[in-house]
Every structure is written in structure tokens, then in C-alpha cells.
Amino acid sequence: MGHKVNTKRKAYNPYKDLYKSGHKKKKHKKNKKHSELLKVRTLLSGAPALKKKCCRSCPRCSTCPAVLRYLQKNNALTLDDAALQSMLLEARLR
């Protein structure tokens, strides 16, 4: 008597047309936060400072002496990665 007609429609994907027209998908970047935290941990553990002067920009860079001093005062080496990341943000924003 009859064929079944598929009445379900697929959801419209606006990005599908972009990929057909030559746009490339974004690649996943490596974990920059982990490498930044590793650099901060090595500087806190006693390595010589990379910079001698404070840059005074906002937000301060993670290797700024003022940021490292703030982290040393609060014993940042004893913290895990998530707590160190939040303390680093707090120190950089002043």
C-alpha cells in the first residue's frame, strides 16, 4: 500500500556550509595553562628571575617579580594546579 516516508528532519548545522566552502576546522591547542603553571612553579622553586623590573601593565605577566613575590608570600608551591591557577589570576590582576 505504501512506502513509509521519513518525516524526521535533521537539525540544521550552520557550520556545515562553512566547512564545504574551504574553511578549516579549528585544531585543539596544547594546554597552555599547564605549561604556564610549570614555568611559575620553576620560578618559585628558586630559579633565577627572568625579569628584574616590574612591567606595571594590567594584567601583569606571570613572570613579573611582583606576581612572584605575591605567590611566595602565600606559599603557592604547596597548592594544586587549580588553586595555583586561581591565585595566579588574583596576583596578576592585583
> In this structure, what C-alpha cell is assigned to residue 92?
596578576
Which pLDDT does position 70 carry in this prediction? 92
Secondary structure (3-state) at 44: helix
Over residues 12-25, the pLDDT tens digits come to: 766 666 666 555 66
Half-sphere exposure of 3 (CA within 13 A, CB side): 3
What are the boundaries of each domain within the chain?
A: 49-94
Which pLDDT does position 26 carry in this prediction? 64
Which pLDDT does position 17 carry in this prediction? 62
Positions in the chain short of pLDDT 50: none
pTM (two decimals): 0.60
- Residues of 31-48 as b/e, b for ≥16 C-beta within 10 angstroms? eeeeeebeebbebeeeee
User: Residue ranges of the alpha helices (H) in the chain?
Assistant: 14-20, 32-44, 65-73, 81-93
